[in-house]
Amino acid sequence: MNPHHLDRLPWPKIRTYLEQSKTILVPIGSVEQEGSHLPTGFDSHTAQHICEQVSERTGCLIGPPIFMGYSEWFMEFPGTISFSYELLLQLIREYCECLFKHGFRKFIFVSPHHGNREAIAIVGRELRHKDALVSLVDVWRLLEQIGKDLQGLREKKNKHAGEIMTSIALAIYPERVDLNSAAAEYAKSSISKAIKPKASAGPADFNGLEIQMFLRGAEVTKSGTLGDPTHASQELGKMMLAKLVDYTVSFVREVDKIEPHNTLC
């Protein structure tokens, strides 16, 4: 079964699809710096790759990709393109509203970019009032869970452009990964001796507990990497990716069974 892309089909075939299923996969990513060794569009490429793998096995239609997300904290790094949060939210809202009018009722977003989460959640809560159902396959969070017991994986927590992400890139398109430029770097900042940032987008340690401090990406990393990609491997990436696709296939099949009418107690 070949992947099915909504934008590659004439409208009568989409109407026929809707007679059988109200479910659609929506790949959404980002264009942002991904360290010195990964392409800026890696999140979006990953979302599309996963959707295509899932569609091949389920027949689920894939919506047009939302290629850019909210990545404002990385704007010091050339190539980063960030929608404003307001624009991203409205884009996701109108995207879903158009498909809703045509009869789609179950939207499964596949997102490897945490900057998209809240915008998807807001639209999901709005659409739930219309008896539609929005879900999020949060790629890096799922891969953390998948990889926690995986032998050979050293970084059990996903780090920006670190071992998990670089391994997935090697599995998807090794020819676009510049391992010669890969180097380990971890979040650090001179803003305070007592507050230690963990990432570029908020989490930081203070007195042994996690708080949020919103710094610029360039304030915590020079290379853009926030982990250690040097131990990444194509084999690990293929193993994690296969498990993630299997999981997402099962999820899509389960969602496809659901009648998305309101289920208030």
Say if CB 133 and CB 51 are below 8 A apart: no
Whether 143 and 240 have beta carbons less than 8 Å apart is answered as yes
* Token pair in block for residue 29: 């990513």
Please tell me the predicted confidence (pLDDT) of residue 1.
Answer: 60
Q: Which is more confident, 262 or 253?
A: 253
Cα-based distances in Å from 209 to 194, 195, 203, 204, 237: 11, 10, 10, 8, 32
Q: How far apart are CA 127 and CA 261, in angstroms?
A: 11
Stretch 240-257: mean pLDDT: 97
Average pLDDT of the chain? 95
Convert the pLDDT of each residue in 4-19 to its tens digit. Answer: 999 999 999 999 999 9
Q: Which domains does the chain have, with CATH numbers?
A: 4-184+231-257 (3.40.50.10310), 186-220 (no CATH)
Assign 141 a pLDDT band (cuts: 50, 70, 90).
very high
Task: Give the pLDDT confidence score for residue 73 in this predicted structure.
Answer: 94
Average pLDDT of the segment spanning 101-128:
97
Checking if the pLDDT of 2 tops 80, the result is no
DSSP element (H, E) containing 138: strand 133-138
Half-sphere exposure of 58 (CA within 13 A, CB side): 28
User: Across residues 239-248, what is the average pLDDT?
Assistant: 98
pTM tops 0.75? yes
Beta-carbon neighbour count of residue 156 at 10 Å? 13
Strand partners, 5: 62
Other CB atoms within 10 A of residue 56 CB:
15
Q: Would you say 106 and 23 are in contact if contact means Cβ atoms under 8 Å apart? A: yes
